[in-house]
Amino acid sequence: MIDTEGRQTRPSGASRRSQDQTARKTFLVITLLPFFLIALIAIALIIRTWPILRAYSPASLVFGTVWKPDNGQFGFWPFITGTVWVTVVGVILSVPACLLVSLYLSEYAHSTTRSITKPVLDLLAAIPPVVYGVWGLLVIVPFVEKILAPLSKKWLGAIPIFAVNQPTGFSILSGGIVLAVMIAPLIISVVYEILSTVPNDLRHASLAVGATKWQTIRQIVIPQVLPGIVAGVVLGASRALGETIAVLMVVGNVAKVPTSIFDPAYPLPALIANNYGDMMSVPLYDAALLGAALVLLIVILIFNIISTLVLQRMLARKKA
């Protein structure tokens, strides 16, 4: 309603209150939807997994190391460890470089550099996973096999996690490299946005008392946004945990618990994608594959809960 001078008329108090109530309720319902969704997905998975949970104990499924569905052996441990290895390697390779890039972009870079770099990063984020997979197959797998593996054999071979136990480049390291490149744009853009929330006054004050740029970054900027940086890394890692096609094309898909980054692995998402086709024939197989999906969901939930706790502690300490 608009009065003669073009101003909005004030609705009556009652109608304003009811508007407010309606808005509140609508927003609440929409906010609660994700909880219902997670619960629904979990319940559906548990129902479909039930046949195998009745036949085997959860511990024997989770910690079993043999996967031979035709013989009725369903051990998820190689897949769980495979998922964790590939993700950890990807995050370790990606995070340091991502932090440096976002710090450079936010603190040092000229605005022209920034305006060129950002679209390129967005483009990297938009490349479909299957393209990363093909690139990994054609470039990264041979690179690991012909260059990194021989180097590691020569210099680091005595350390178990760098031991070269198999001769091909299909390995956790290849999967980790592909993942690192895939999650980098995500981490960089989140961390960059967070860094740009630090008020410039703080930077100016620090520089004014004679601190160098590097000192300012280390003592002023980073402590301000540390929880945000952790949140960005968690987001990248969550993406890495669930990545399927790009990883399965380069990781070798061998259902054995890995001991070295040069071992092949078989992450949970790859298990589900690869064996979708046998679901209809082998007894209990569909229950086992949906069980794999349930395990993946639980792994991601545990990961997110732990990182939320870490984040809260950091925030609490910052306030103290």
Contact status: 252 vs other proteins (CB under 8 A): yes
Contact status: 278 vs other proteins (CB under 8 A): yes
Contact status: 139 vs other proteins (CB under 8 A): no
| Adjacent-strand bridge partners of 74 | 67
Contact status: 224 vs other proteins (CB under 8 A): no
Q: Which residue, chain included where needed, has tokens 């007894």? A: 283
d(CA 29, CA 214): 46
d(CA 252, CA 171): 6
| Minimal distance, residue 195 CB to other proteins, in Å | 39
Toward other proteins, which CB reaches closer, 173 or 249? 249
Secondary structure (DSSP) of 137-168: IIIIHHHIIIIIHHHHHHHTTTSGGG---SSS
Contact status: 249 vs other proteins (CB under 8 A): yes
Toward other proteins, which CB reaches closer, 109 or 127? 127
Tell me the two tokens of residue 208: 């004014």
Toward other proteins, which CB reaches closer, 206 or 253? 253
Toward other proteins, which CB reaches closer, 78 or 228? 78
The answer to whether 174 touches 141, Cβ cutoff 8 Å, is yes
Q: Which of 211, 189, 193, 191 is nearest to 202 (CA)?
A: 211
| Minimal distance, residue 224 CB to other proteins, in Å | 45
* Among positions 46, 53, 282, 314, the unique one binding other proteins when judged by CB under 8 A: 282
* Among positions 167, 201, 208, 319, the unique one binding other proteins when judged by CB under 8 A: 167
The answer to whether 198 touches 224, Cβ cutoff 8 Å, is yes
Residues at the interface with other proteins (CB under 8 A): 67-71, 130, 134, 137, 142, 166-168, 170, 248-249, 252-256, 264, 266, 270, 274-283
